[in-house]
Amino acid sequence: MKLNIKNKFTTQLPADSNLENSRRQVAEACFSYVTPKSTSNPELLHVSPEMLSSIGLTKSDAESETFLKIMTGNEVLEHTNPYAMCYAGHQFGNWAGQLGDGRAINLFEVEHDQKSWVVQLKGAGETPYSRSADGLAVLRSSIREYLCSEAMHHLGVPTTRALSLALTGDQVLRDVLYNGNPDYEKGAIVSRVSPSFLRFGSYEIFAARQDHKNLKILVDFTINEHFSHLGKPSKETYLQFFAEVSRRTLQMIIHWQRIGFVHGVMNTDNMSILGLTIDYGPYGWLEGFDFGWTPNTTDNQHKRYRYGNQPNIGLWNLYQLANALYPLIEDAKAMETILETYATDFETESLKMMRSKLGLQSEVDSDTSLIQDLEDLLQLTETDMTIFFRDLGAFKKGHASEGLTLIKDAFYNPIEVTGSLNEKWNTWLMRYSERLEMETVSDVERKDQMNSVNPKYVLRNYMAQLAIDDADKGDYHLIDELFQLLKQPYDEQPEHEKWFAKRPEWARHKVGCSMLSCSS
């Protein structure tokens, strides 16, 4: 197994001088060296061929004993030094101090085809940042992360990736809903891949400790390695760097809103500096269209990270990053301008995104009210977001009377769409039809365009739960079926039509389908 190994992170950034794997506050360091925990009976369940190729490995490499051992923490590749990253963060709006990689261990950096990747194990044991936790992961959460990160990539959403999914052979004690009922589950490890796992919190920790020397070292490293097109580090470059992080964060969240994805835990330690979706925990896709929905039971009362609030939280998190970077930039006005630009750009980009979902290519002032009225309508009765927008693609100009028939499968209770609600839908569909008359593209062309941004298949929580339930019984076929399905989320795939369906009633209140915790 030959890899083009690079160790830029560990050779260019300050390391923790304490080599003991003991829980502690780690000062003046970006990372701590740590060795993954050996597992008793590792078994590889799935490998992403695409990511395997991306880091320069072949199928035969993945079938080797060496690959299995390295991706389950039982062997350290020569000339590499695994490490856990040190960072802080705001959790649910409150400063949490030092956090760090509590159950993630970065194995190595690899360069292939002029791209650089960090390969990381999630669930490979304790680190100095594990606090009171065991640093392990279970099959349930590992399947969710493995499937989702690859599904998001194929949906066109900026994301970290997944390379492999493996069982450890060990049992792990978990309290799924934090309600005092812990139980043993199958242990598992996901190998995650990203150009970088640096987060907003990586910079916050140095700023909070007023360690401006190491803050500058880390920011300079980040610019040189990941934003080199901005030029050599300087005050002006730092400002441009912050502006680009802001833009990337905005674009990522626009994509989330487009497909109805809810991250669930948008803490600053879960925000990638590269604008990638990172740390798949209690995420979910909107079933019924609802701006107030969150999949996270921990957030059930205040709903801070609800679907409709994700754009605002992105901005709030950028304010925290601005505070962290301020000692290097020292220009509050310029930074405030960037933050204000995020707010105004989000309105513009959001409108542009919704136009694309509706197949509107020209810009008309009345589009704002058309979209607002649609969003209000979608919330009057439980309406499946994915099915609604996908089915709307078949709408034909001048055939508004057929509109309700087209979208009826999106309603959870079609019998509710009567009386005044029926009239409201018909009124909106008539307005939509009139608006489409202003477009020059044909119905066929518009449908193709709409189908390219409105996915047919997303990883609904109940789908992941079915794969988890089968895997708990030792049957891993559904993991691969969903993995293959979600590689082409915009294609019709008639052989997989059963997955283009509303959430079944049994899943409405089932743990893992509607209720998820931070350990999910």
Q: Which residues carry out catalysis? A: 269
CA-nearest of 412, 395, 413, 387 to 404 is 395
Q: Is 362 exposed, middle or buried (0-12, 13-18, 19+ CB in 10 A)?
A: exposed
Pull the structure tokens for residue 142: 């590992």
- Structural contact between residues 36 and 124, judged by C-beta atoms closer than 8 angstroms: yes
CB < 8 Å & 24+ apart, contacts of 392-397: 392/358, 392/450, 392/454, 393/359, 393/446, 393/447, 393/450, 393/451, 393/454, 394/447, 395/429, 395/432, 395/433, 395/436, 395/443, 396/443, 397/433, 397/436, 397/437, 397/443
Tell me which H or E stretch contains 316: helix 310-329
User: Whole-angstrom Cα distance, residue 482 to residue 432?
Assistant: 35
SS (H, E, C) 465-495: HHHHHHHHCCCCHHHHHHHHHCCCCCCCCHH
DSSP state for residue 119 in the 8-state scheme: E
Element (H, E) at 354: helix 332-357
